[in-house]
Amino acid sequence: MDSKNALGEFLRARRERVRPEDVGLSGGGLRRVPGLRREEVALLAGISSDYYLRLEQGRDRNPSVQVLEALARVLRLDASATAHLLGLAQPERPAVSRRRVRRPETVPASVRELLDTWSAHPAYVQNRFTDCLAANALCAALSPNYAPGVNLLRAVFLDPAEHELRRDWEELTAEGVATLRGHIGPDVDDPRLVDLVGELSVRSDRFRHLWSRHEVQPMLGRTSLLSHPLVGDVELRSNKFEIPGTDALSLVVFHAEPGSRSAELLGLLGSLAAPDGVPREAPHEDTARLDEER
């Protein structure tokens, strides 16, 4: 990750993912690079090849909005990726403002109280780097990684138990990386991000591949498919809410479809969770009943 040329890295990565036929060009002949050539992007965007080369090489970092929007159309960027591109091209801020003194990452007391009242809904709070800052008992029963101090993205990529838990691991990891990049925006030189990306790039081939794709996604809710060791297959929906008055902390709340089998299993999991959120072994009769009903 080259923080000094984030714009150029993004343009190059996204250029390599657009096929010539996607933009009305012939894909025939010998092509030494994947996707579009630089001169093809420049032609389609209505700018000179030399100017586009300067953008990718980081020798011009302040293109106009019109140029960026033209490039976004050629590169077939959606609204989130286009906004990300515009953010990367903002005039470089002084180092002091880029590493601004952030407010302490303290979960408001009212939010902690809210978490504890949701006995039927797993919920947790994370920062923009996916560090878990707080979680209620039912959330901890879903996975021990829902605990203060755990980086959830790191856990998903590196903890084998998370891979076993997540039936949708491939989709989840792709979304997690794209959301992280979208949430960070142009602050790619943030020390916390540099450490996290560096570690995951070394230890996970999949993370390294996904990060290189420069996908961008806003923070959205999703449906999680879990295979829980105590209650079996559960399908949970989640919603994410940014907490006002904090430095981009997010509240994530899970729920099962009312009246569904997943809702029943989530309720059973709640009954099996100890007060501190650490799951006990399932009673023999409950385990037998679940095995019969599956």
pLDDT in tens, 188-241: 888 999 999 999 999 999 999 999 999 998 878 899 999 999 999 999 999 999
Query: What's the rounded mean pLDDT across residues 146-166?
Result: 97
Q: Is the predicted pLDDT of residue 5 greater than 70, yes or no?
A: yes
Instruction: Give 293's pLDDT tier (boundaries 50, 70, 90).
Output: very low
User: In this predicted model, which residue has the larger pLDDT, 10 or 102?
Assistant: 10
Between CA 256 and CA 268, with CA 262 as vertex, the angle to 5 degrees is 105
In a 10 Å sphere around its CB, with 0-12 CB exposed, 13-18 middle and 19+ buried, how is residue 267 labelled? middle
> Which of 54-68, 231-245, 269-283 is predicted least confidently?
269-283
Amino acid 277: pLDDT: 42
Give me the long-range contacts of 276-285 (CB less than 8 A, separation at least 24): 276/137, 276/140, 277/135, 277/136, 277/137, 277/138, 277/139, 277/140, 277/141, 278/140, 278/141, 278/144, 279/141, 279/230, 282/230, 282/231
What pLDDT shows up at residue 143? 97
Does pLDDT of 100 surpass 70?
A: no
The pLDDT, as a whole number, for residue 102 is 56
How would residue 187 be classed by pLDDT, with cut points 50, 70 and 90?
confident
Banded model confidence at residue 25, pLDDT cuts 50, 70, 90: confident
Q: Mean pLDDT lowest for which of 173-182, 223-232, 272-281? A: 272-281
pLDDT band at 91, cuts 50/70/90? Answer: low
| Residue 279 pLDDT greater than 60, yes or no | no
274: confidence class by pLDDT, cuts 50, 70, 90: low
* Residue-level pLDDT at 3: 58
Name the more confident of 4 and 41. Answer: 41
